A and B are shown apart, each in its own frame.
Chain A
Amino acid sequence: MLEALRAPWEALLERLIFLPPFPEQLDSLALFSLLLVVGLLLGEWLHARAGWPKVVGYVLAGTLFGPALLGWISFEALAQARPLADAALGLLMMEVGRRLDLGWLFRNRELLRSTLSDIGLSFALIFAFAFWLIDMSPGWAAATAAVTMASAPSVVLLAIEDSKAQGLVSDRIMLHTALSSAASFVAFTLVLGIVHAEHSTDWLNAAAHPLWVAGGGLLIGWLGARTAIVIARRLPKGSLAQVFVLVASALLAVGLARMLAVPVFLGLFLMGLLLAAGDRQQVLRYTSLPEGHWLLAIILFVIVGASLPWPEFTWLTGLQALGLLIVRAAAKSAALAWSGGSLPLPKRLLVGLGIQPLSATAVFMAYEILALYPEIGRSALALPLFAAAIMELAGPALCQMALRRSGECETAKPRAGGIA
C-alpha cells in the first residue's frame, strides 16, 4: 500500500517544495506510541479476561512486536526508545527509594534479621548454583547472583498500587524488595570490579569502575535530591508545582546518569533514598508522582519485553534458568520462614511469594555488565536474562497472588475471624 503512494508522492514532490521525501518507514516515536497503545490494550484485556497482572500484557506486547518475533520494533527503534525506558525506570526506582523506611528496621529488629537472611541466602545459593552446577567462573557466577538476587521493585510497586493493597504483608514485600535491590546494587558494583579482574590485565578498571559507579550514583542521587528539595522548599507542599519539580529533578538525574555512564536505576534509587532520609522538614515527603504515573510502566515493560534475548534461547539454558529460579525461590522462602517472627508463618511465606518477581532492573543490570565484555558476557549472562524473561511473565502473577491471599487488596474480602 505504501508503494502505491510512492509514485504520486514523488510526482508531487517536484511541484510542492515543502514536501519531505517519501517516508520509508514509520517514525520511531509514532511506531512506539502505537505499540504502547497495543501494550496497554493487551494488558487491560488480559487483566479483564484472565485476571492476569497488566504488566504481563505489556511484556508480551513488547516480546511480540520486538526484534525476536514480528520485528516491528527494530534494534534501532529500541535504542532510540532507551531514554524513555530509562526515564520510566528512573522514576519508578526513585519512588521505591522514597518508600524505603530504614527507621522501621530499627523499630523492629526481626525485620533486619529477615532481610539480611533474604539477601545473604539468595546471593549465596544463586552463586553456588551458578558456580558449581552451571560451572561458571567466580566472576560471572557472582554477576548472575548480583543480577538475580533481588526482587523487582517496579513490578512490586505496580502490583501494590494496582491492587491498592495495604497491610503488613504488602508493607514487608515492599521493604524486602527495596532492601534486596539496594543490596543487589552494592553486589553489582563490586561484581563490575571482579569481572574486569577476570578479563582484563589492567587492574585500573577493576578498581576504578566500581568506584565510578558507586561514587557517580551517590553524587547524582545527592544532586537530584538536593535540587528537588531546595527548589520545592519555596513552593506550597503537595502542590502541582512541587510535583513538577520532583519529576524534573528526577529526569535531570536520569540525564546525568546517562551522560556519565552510571546505571540509571542506581542513581535514581539513591536519589529516592536521599530524598526520604534528607527531607527533615517534609518538603517533598507528601508529594506524589503525578496520577497515572503507572503509565510509565507500559513504556518500561514494552521495552523490556522487546529487549529479551529470545532468539538465543536454548532448552538447556531454559532448564538452567528454571533451576536458578527454583533455588532463588527456595532461598527467599527459607529466609522468610526462618526469620521475621513478628509476623505469623503463613504471612511470612506470603511475603516470600510476593518478592519472587525478577524484572526490569535485573535485565538492565545484566545489559550493563554485558556491555563491558559483549563476547563473553552474551553467553555468560544468558542464564540470568532467561531467568528474568521467565519471571517477567510469572513474577507479577506470583506477587499478585501473595497480595490477594493476604487479604490486603482493596477489592479483597476481609479475612474471616472473630472480634477481639
Chain B
Amino acid sequence: MTQAIGQFKHSEPLTLGVELELQLVSRRDFNLVRGATDLIDSLDYDGRYGEIKLEITESMIEVSTQPQATVDGIAADLAGLRDTLRQHAERNNIGICGGGTHPFHHWPERRICPGDRFEALYQRYGYLAKQFTVFGQHIHVGVTSADDAIWLTQALGVYVPAFIALSAASPFVDGVDSFFQSARLNAVSAFPLSGQCPPLADWAAFIEHFSFLQACGIASSIKDLYWDVRPKPEFGTVEIRVCDTPLAIEQAASLAALAQSLSRWLLRTRPELQAAKQVYVARANKFQACRYGMDALLADPAGPRQVPLRQSLLDLLDALDEDARQLGCEHWLNALRPIVSDEAGDAAWLRARQRQHNNLNDVVRDACERLMPRSPEKAWEKIR
C-alpha cells in the first residue's frame, strides 16, 4: 500500500525533537528481556514530556521529547522521560540502559512487537528485523520550508561521520569486541534503502525521486527510507538518524546542541554543497567513522584530499561557538569537546568497563546505572 507524501508541515526554525531507543534488560543477568509491551501497558503517564512507545522488538522502547525551542528544554524532557521510565521499570523489575548495541544478546531470542506495521516489517525483512534490535538517537531539527529541508538534508549529510564518531556507543556485538566504535550502523546498512539521500535540488526533485521509488515498488512510504539524514514532512523537520543512543541523557542533549548549532550555521552561511561528489565518498567516510571513531580519516571530495576527523571536528566546534551562544546551548556543545580531544566517548567508556570487569554482564549493569543513576553522587559526569 503506497502512501503519498503530504504537504511539508511548517515548523518553527531550529526547533528540536529527540528520539531515543533504549534497551530493556533483565536485572538478573542484564541480558535483553522481552518487556516492552508489559512496560507500556503498565504506564501511568500523562505524556507531559513526550511519548513512550514500542519499537520493532519487545526488548526495545522508544522515548521522544516534545518539540522544544532550546536544548535545555530537550534535556528537561529527556530527564522527565527517564524518571518516568525509571519509576515504571523498577516496579516491573526491568533495567534500562543506553548504548547502540546490546553487547551480548542472542538475536534469535528477540520477539517482534505486536502491531501491523511491525508484523509487516518482519514479513518483509525476515531475520533482519530481529537483528535490527539496535538502539539509536534520532534528532529532528525544525525548518521553515520544504526546499530548506532538502538543502539541509544534503548539507548535514557531510557531517554524518561527525555525529557517528561523537555518539559511538556500540563496540561490542555477540559478546565480542567488534573493533568498531559504532557497530550498530552495520545492522542498519543491511536494509535496501539505507545510506545517504541522493543529490536533489529541491522539494520538487525529492517528490519526483520518491514517486520513482514508489512506481518501481521499492518504497511505499517515507518510513521505508532509512537514510542517514532524511526530511520528515509530517513534522516539518530534518531528521538525523545516525547517532547511537548515548549512555546518558546529557550526552543526547549535547548531540542535539550540535545538530541545532550546525543547522543554524549551515542555513546562515549556506556553504556550497558538493552533493554529486559527496555520493562517492559518503559510504567510505561513514565506515571510517564507525570503525575508527575520532581517529577516522575522511575523504574530502572538494580537495580532493584526506582529512583527520578529530581536527576537523575541533575546527567545527570552534566555528559553531557563536551560533551555539546565540541559541543558548554553548554549555551543551562544549561538553562534546572532551570526547574529541580526550577519547572520552561512550565506546571508550564501555571498553574501559569491560577491561575492569572482564565481563559484559557487569558492563551492562554499569550502563544501566549510568543512564539512571540512583543518587546525584553517581551522576554520569562522576562515573565518567
Contact = CB atoms under 8 A, between A and B. Distances in A.
Interface of A: 99, 101, 103-104, 107-108, 164, 166-168, 171, 236-238, 282, 285-286, 342-344, 408, 410, 414-420
A282 B353 CA distance: 14
A414 B114 CA distance: 6
Given A168-B38, A342-B42, A414-B58, A282 B91 contact: no
A414 B90 contact: no
24 contacts: A99-B28, A101-B27, A101-B28, A104-B27, A107-B91, A107-B93, A167-B35, A168-B38, A237-B357, A237-B362, A238-B359, A282-B361, A282-B365, A285-B28, A286-B30, A286-B359, A344-B41, A414-B111, A414-B112, A415-B114, A416-B114, A417-B115, A419-B113, A419-B118
A354 B118 CA distance: 30
Interface in B334-374: 357-359, 361-362, 365
Contacts of A167: 34-35, 38
B58 A419 contact: no
Given A238-B359, A282-B362, A285-B361, A420 B90 contact: no
Nearest to B115: A419
B358 to A, nearest CB: 7
A420 B54 contact: yes
Given A342-B92, A414-B58, 4 more contacts: A237-B358, A282-B362, A418-B115, A419-B117
Contact of A419 (B28, B34, B54): B54
Interface in B280-297: none
A285 B27 CA distance: 11
A141 B35 CA distance: 41
A420 B93 contact: no
B35 to A, nearest CB: 7
A238 B362 CA distance: 11
A410 B93 contact: no
Contacts of A418: 115
A373 B250 CA distance: 67
Interface string B57-101: 010000000000000000000000000000000111100000000
A343 B42 contact: yes
Contacts of A236: 358
A236 B42 CA distance: 39
Q: Which 9 A-B pairs have the closest CB atoms?
A: A419-B115, A107-B90, A237-B359, A108-B91, A286-B361, A166-B34, A168-B38, A414-B114, A420-B53
Given A168-B35, A282-B362, A414 B113 contact: yes
B322 interface: no
Contacts of A410: 109, 111
Contacts of B112: 414
A420 B358 contact: no
Contacts of A238: 359, 361
A108 B91 CA distance: 5
Interface hub of B37, B90, B361 (most chain A Cβ within 10 A)? B37
Interface in B89-141: 90-93, 109, 111-115, 117-118
Nearest to B38: A168
B243 interface: no
B111 to A, nearest CB: 6
B318 interface: no
A164 B114 CA distance: 18
Nearest to A286: B361
Contacts of A414: 37, 58, 111-114
Interface hub of A104, A107, A166, A417 (most chain B Cβ within 10 A)? A166
A414 B36 CA distance: 12
A158 B280 CA distance: 56
Nearest to A343: B42
Contacts of A164: 109
Contact of A415 (B28, B37, B42, B357): B37
Nearest to B87: A107
Given A282-B361, A282-B365, A342-B42, A419 B35 contact: no
A302 B320 CA distance: 73
